[in-house]
């Protein structure tokens, strides 16, 4: 009997990683998932996934625990490095809370991959490592050639973007020097239904206008992607031998007023913002490279409906709200 392919997913209990684990299990993979505490209730949803009993093994470790990462990655032919700290709002100590875990953590994962003889690593980066480049021509869509300017990120105190940019840049240097097969995927703001019970940072994009009773909301342009479409993109880049380099993963660029209006049309009884404040901003991204690889994405309306339904099921929205 041929043993099933083993892969490791870092930060397995997180928003994106949970969907990756779900899809991997459904496709017959043996999955090693790294989590801080396998017995923590916030990881309970992983054990309920189909085929989890026989094909999912959770390892207690974190990004700064090299030996723990080595144990989790041993025997795996592929690794999906997804774990990364995210803090909405101002971070008291960005160096230790954001940058070090992102950079040192990625370095530890890649070293463990070399030690284990891993065939391919799919690194989840972010458009945060692409978008913050004031020198990029304003009339040109940002593509995979664009990198966020580290000096600009420091000046603007955009420490999440700084950490993501440094971590991805170092990953490419590491891959080149050690002959490790790495593909990076740079998603935009990830929305969609949740599998986990705790609220993740990117889902606040929809939760704020749904439940906070805001007086006003800025009509920013947002690049978004469905979490399920992102998970499919990660598996696509892992399995396709032609995949190489960076891939921007973003489905729609939409203004907040459009998002709110779409939500209102399906769920009219939530406490939506009373007014929308116009702002002059723009987002110009291209996912053409990923689409040429065969990636497809679902309608935005489906993402919004499925998101709200999952929020209601989890209990993070008031139960007396109207639903589709």
Residue found under tokens 């740079």: 186
For residue range 132-152, list pLDDT tens digits in order.
999 999 889 999 999 999 999
Quote the CA–CA distance of 139 and 126 in Å, as a whole number: 22
Domain-embedded: residue 197 = no
b/e per residue 1-13 (b: at least 16 CB within 10 A): eeeeebbbbbbbb
End-to-end CA distance of the chain: 47
What single string gives the DSSP state of each residue in 53-100? HHHEEEEE--TT-HHHHHHHHTT-SEEEE------SS--S-HIIIIIH
In a domain, 211, yes or no: no
Element (H, E) at 172: helix 159-178
Positions of the chain with pLDDT under 50: 1, 319-324
How far apart (Å, rounded) are the C-alpha atoms in residues 251 and 42?
Answer: 29
3-state secondary structure of 260: helix
CATH of the domain at 171: 3.40.50.720
* Residues with a known catalytic role: 164
Model pTM score = 0.95
pLDDT of 285: 94
297, 251 Cβ separation under 8 angstroms: yes
Give a yes or no: residue 134 inside a domain: yes
Q: Are 19 and 231 in contact (CB under 8 A)?
A: yes
CA dihedral 171, 174, 180, 184 (to 10 degrees): 10
Number of Cβ atoms within 10 Å of the Cβ of 322 = 9
- Assess if residue 273 is contained within a domain: no
Q: How far is the C-alpha of 10 from the C-alpha of 215, rounded, in Å?
A: 39
H or E element that contains 313: helix 300-314
118 lies in some domain = yes
Domain that holds residue 174: 6-192+225-251+283-299
Is 209 part of any domain? no
**35 is a domain residue:** yes
3-state secondary structure 141-155: CECCCCCCCHHHHHH
**How many domains is the chain built from?**
1
**Whole-number Å distance between alpha carbons of 182 and 294:** 19
User: Is residue 305 in some structural domain?
Assistant: no
């Amino acid at each position: 009997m041929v043993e099933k392919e083993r892969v490791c997913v870092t930060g397995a209990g997180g928003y994106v990683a949970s969907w990756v684990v779900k899809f991997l299990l459904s496709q017959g993979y043996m999955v090693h998932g790294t989590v801080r505490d396998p017995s923590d209730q916030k990881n309970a949803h992983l054990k309920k996934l189909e085929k989890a009993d026989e094909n999912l093994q959770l390892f207690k470790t974190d990004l700064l625990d090299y030996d723990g990462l080595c144990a989790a990655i041993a025997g795996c032919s592929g690794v999906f490095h997804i774990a990364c700290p995210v803090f909405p709002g101002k971070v008291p100590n960005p160096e230790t809370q954001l940058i070090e875990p992102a950079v040192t953590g990625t370095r530890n994962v890649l070293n463990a991959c070399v030690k284990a003889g891993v065939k391919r690593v799919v690194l989840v980066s972010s458009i945060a490592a692409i978008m913050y480049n004031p020198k990029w021509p304003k009339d040109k869509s940002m593509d995979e050639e664009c990198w966020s300017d580290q000096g600009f990120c420091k000046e603007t105190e955009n420490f999440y973007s700084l950490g993501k940019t440094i971590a991805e840049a170092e990953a490419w240097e590491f891959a080149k020097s050690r002959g490790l097969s790495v593909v990076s995927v740079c998603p935009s703001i990830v929305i969609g239904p949740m599998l986990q019970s705790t609220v993740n940072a990117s889902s606040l994009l929809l939760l704020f206008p749904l439940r906070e009773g805001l007086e006003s909301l800025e009509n920013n342009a947002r690049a978004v992607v469905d979490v399920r479409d992102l998970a499919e993109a990660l598996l696509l880049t892992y399995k396709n031998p032609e995949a190489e380099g960076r891939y921007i993963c973003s489905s729609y660029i939409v203004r907040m007023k459009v998002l709110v209006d779409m939500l209102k049309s399906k769920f009219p009884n939530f406490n939506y913002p009373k007014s929308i404040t116009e702002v002059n901003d723009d987002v110009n991204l291209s996912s053409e490279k990923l689409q040429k690889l065969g990636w497809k994405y679902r309608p935005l309306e489906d993402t919004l409906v499925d998101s709200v339904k999952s929020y209601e099921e989890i209990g993070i929205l008031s139960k007396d709200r109207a639903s589709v």
